[in-house]
Chain A
Amino acid sequence: MNNAFQTEILKLKKNKMAFIGFVFTICIPVLLVLKAVFLDKIKIDYHEWIQTVFMLVNLVLPIMSGFFITQSMQKEYGEKTIINIITAPVNRKVFVFSKITVWFFWYVVVMIVTECLTILGSLILFHSQVTSSAICFTIQLFTQIGLLSYIAFLPIIWIAIRQRTLFYPTMLSVLFFVLLQCAGSQVSEELLPVACFVPWLAIQISAMLPANSQYLYICIASILCSGLLGIILAIFEFRTQDL
């Protein structure tokens, strides 16, 4: 597993998609700082600014993340390097786990850098309004949504393995999941009992629920189920796949 993960890191160093995804995502807080400094005529308040960053990051990061894993899997099939990997030999389960691990590694790095830039930006723009509790809240919210989003999107790797060299079905699935994730913040109270069971809607819902809400547990359970199912399906698909 360690060798497989290390080789994924080696590949990551020259992976343009990983770099583009990283730059695109971390650009959001940077551009919003520049916009607030140079373009905005009316000064917005801290909460409004942080909400804008939050909304855009939650839109762009899952898309970039989906692009990253789709391209990573599709390249292995397209360039047929998967044959060299399996004959190395690398256990098929280990290969899937190494992909998931490197995907998570990239995701966490992008998420942390974006969080840091957001906090730095908020300190530059709203120095007097930003308290330590506000920083903690921002970190907690970013991390919670980010991690839940990563877990809920794990079935993407199953679709990518199933589709082999095809790029579009996986990307369309990513966009559909992102659409659901964005729609999660608009779910009405009447629809809440149903929406909690849909993992991609549950990501945003979980951020709006109080800690003691039973719906929060349902949201987290449905997201974890999605992740677990994604991993199981991906391993099963890859183990039975003729290369």
Chain B
Amino acid sequence: MENQIILATKQLTKKYGDVRAVEQINLNVKKGRIYGLLGRNGAGKTTIMKMVLGLISISEGEIEIFGERLKGNEKSIYTRIGSIIETPSFYSYLTGTENLEIFSRLRGTIKKNAVKSALEVVGLPYKDKKPFVSYSLGMKQRLGIANAILNDPEILILDEPTNGLDPVGIVEIRKFLQTLCHEQGKTIIISSHILSEIALLADDIGIIHDGHLLKEFSMNELEEKNKRFIEIKVNSVTKATQLLENMMKCKNYTVTDKNCIEIYDENLNTEEIADCLVSHGIGLSSLVFKHETLEDYFTSLTGGAKFE
């Protein structure tokens, strides 16, 4: 069950005229896990989600959900999916309860008291008199989540659900999504441009950049891959690398800057390195143990400046 793919896209492409907003995306979302779509604003995260939800047409490629092709099975598939796309959208002149009653009726096949329990889950009052227009941003997001879980879906697709929430609200939503996933077995696809958010929440991550899926990996893989390393800053990278290779027999390193080297060799210790470099007349300005984070990995993949 762990590795069962519940949602897969194959060569998914969206074109607007000659512009390719999303190109040949192959996503693989595993059942019962939280999949984080990570990318900058305008990378194509929402476009992918909208294509999955049938809100925009697919230019090329196809989508499989629950092992079935989406095309032709929309009705049976979409009743098993809950979503928030962009900002939570409701009728401004109706109350939260009235709004959910409308959408529950549209779904048709939901349980009795579904509205009440969905509101309870997200901590919003049932049958209150406050219209949606008077809700705070946090309340709007909560109502959006209540609407998404209204029909007890197997997959939740959430586009930046913590946008506009205060820190306490973000923690609450994070815990709630983790509970939904790890205790109730829901599969969650969440998009965000906030790296820390995805790092804390997701089990698997897909990095989207300029409409392309650069990498898909699990957080466990990232942790294993990005072992601790020693970062040294020296006045001569050329001499230092020669010494590392010839004197210390170290080949597992990367020059990351004109005076910076990252050493991945676990057998070397800091004292040994410092002694060797200094004794050969190389100026050593810094020597620290480091651990590559998701941010570093994202930056190295996208080749851009540091992320938020």
Contacts and interface: CB of A to CB of B under 8 A. Distances in A.
Interface of A: 3-4, 6-7, 10-11, 14-16, 75, 79-91, 240, 242-243
B83 A87 contact: yes
Interface string B48-81: 0010011111000000000000000011001101
A7 B87 contact: no
Contacts of B107: 3, 88
Contacts of A81: 89-91
A51 to B, nearest CB: 39
Contact of B85 (A14, A16, A87, A242): A87
Nearest to A92: B54
Contact of A84 (B81, B103, B108): B103
B276 interface: no
B106 A3 contact: yes
B89 A84 contact: yes
Given A3-B105, A84-B147, A242-B56, A89 B74 contact: yes
Given A83-B85, A86-B54, A87-B83, A16 B93 contact: yes
B89 A243 contact: no
B101 A240 contact: no
B92 interface: yes
Contacts of A11: 91, 94, 102
A80 B53 contact: no
B89 A242 contact: no
Nearest to A82: B89
A81 B79 CA distance: 17
B106 A79 contact: no
Contact of B50 (A4, A10, A243): A243
Given A80-B86, A243-B55, A243-B56, A7 B105 contact: yes
A10 B55 contact: no
A4 B94 contact: no
Contact of A87 (B53, B75, B102): B53
A10 B98 contact: yes
